[in-house]
Amino acid sequence: MKQTVLVTGANGFVGRALCVDLVRRGYTVRAAVRERSCAIGLPGELVQIADTGADADWSSAIAGIDAVVHLAARVHVMRDNVLQPLAAFRAVNVVPTERLARAAAAQGVKRFVYVSSIKVNGEGTPPGRPYTPDDVPAPVDSYGISKHEAEQALRQLAREAGLEVVIIRPVLVYGPGVKANFLSMMRWLHRGIPLPLGAINNQRSLVALDNLVDLIVTCLHHPKALNQTFLVSDGEDLSTTALLRRTAAALGRPARLIPVPALVLRTTARLLGKADFAQRLCGSLQVDISKTRELLGWVPPVSVDEALKQTARHFLANL
């Protein structure tokens, strides 16, 4: 018999895809959202949680639930205008996560899958030295720190209450409907805008939406996922230049890339106060998913090129 799964953040980029996939596989889904108006088209039973803060009451949402996938979070933003960003992230990402997990444990929920972030590991890696799940956490920004603190609270609860906790740290997620920088990149490529990114020799891990969703579902039931931490990617790392070229091919457009040396880009960006942006374009961030593969027998079901084609089709259909 399939489980009944509560999905928080069900109306988000990953949450929607996960709910659809779970229903397709025969799971019963309870989708937790803050506003019903944002849940149009979501499958499963909708549960409105008006307050997801420290005082949130999750009792009705988790009644009769077998497992929880916790996606709801205050996400990383490029320009945070909050005066105390760490306090703001903790108020959404740490305290409510622990409260939800304690409520789940009290009602006999078996497994709690927490989607964290690779930012718990850090902000970048030397080429050829990927992050592993066993690395000492080294979060840099408020978002990464809050995700790490939430992980610590869940591990403590697993020891105290016996709740089966599984932690997944994704890298950058892309797929149909992706927003932010990935969407901007596709717009630039589609318009044929020349980009000074033709000589970037970094290596970055990405994860297609379908691959992340598949791993989340695997972690809901796999016995060896119990109290483990997993990194997830497509299993093929790309330079920024290669990503642009392959995305352009998926869009049916030529990639107009000018081979400007990375050092010149970094120096210019630093002078303009955009050093962080240059790091994302020119720096490396790789993850080692061998533990995920070996312990769970998991293989990313979608290749990079197929995922880029799916992403491009959605983008072109919604111009």
| Res 75: pLDDT | 79
Task: Choose between 48 and 166: higher pLDDT.
Answer: 166
Whole-prediction pTM value?
0.94
| Res 132: pLDDT | 98
What does the pLDDT look like over 68-80, one tens digit per residue?
Answer: 999 988 876 545 5
What does the pLDDT look like over 278-312, one tens digit per residue?
Answer: 888 999 999 999 999 999 999 999 999 999 999 99
| Res 128: pLDDT | 83
What does the pLDDT look like over 213-236, one tens digit per residue?
Answer: 999 999 999 999 999 999 999 999
Residue carrying structure tokens 């019903």: 36
**Residue 81 — very low, low, confident or very high, per pLDDT cuts 50/70/90?**
low
Residue 180 backbone zone (phi > 0: left; psi -120 to 50: alpha; other: beta): left
What does the pLDDT look like over 29-54, one tens digit per residue?
Answer: 999 887 777 777 888 888 877 565 66
pLDDT mean over 63-88: 79
Residue 273 backbone zone (phi > 0: left; psi -120 to 50: alpha; other: beta): left
The size of the chain, in residues, is 319
Task: Quote the CA–CA distance of 146 and 154 in Å, as a whole number.
Answer: 12
Task: Give the contacts of 299 (CB within 8 A, at least 6 positions apart).
Answer: 235, 293
Give strand pairing partners of 133.
none
Residue ranges of domains in the chain: 4-175+207-234+287-302
**Catalytic positions:** 143
Task: Choose between 122 and 32: higher pLDDT.
Answer: 122
What does the pLDDT look like over 169-203, one tens digit per residue?
Answer: 999 999 999 999 999 999 999 999 999 999 999 99
Task: Quote the CA–CA distance of 243 and 237 in Å, as a whole number.
Answer: 9
Is the pLDDT confidence value at 142 over 90?
Answer: yes
Task: Quote the CA–CA distance of 236 and 304 in Å, as a whole number.
Answer: 7
Task: Quote the CA–CA distance of 73 and 94 in Å, as a whole number.
Answer: 9
Query: Is 33 within 8 Å of 89 (Cβ atoms)?
Result: no
CATH architecture group of domain 4-175+207-234+287-302:
3-Layer(aba) Sandwich (3.40)
| Res 46: pLDDT | 80
Reading the block at residue 297, the tokens are: 């027998």
Reading the block at residue 3, the tokens are: 């489980």
Reading the block at residue 38, the tokens are: 């944002």
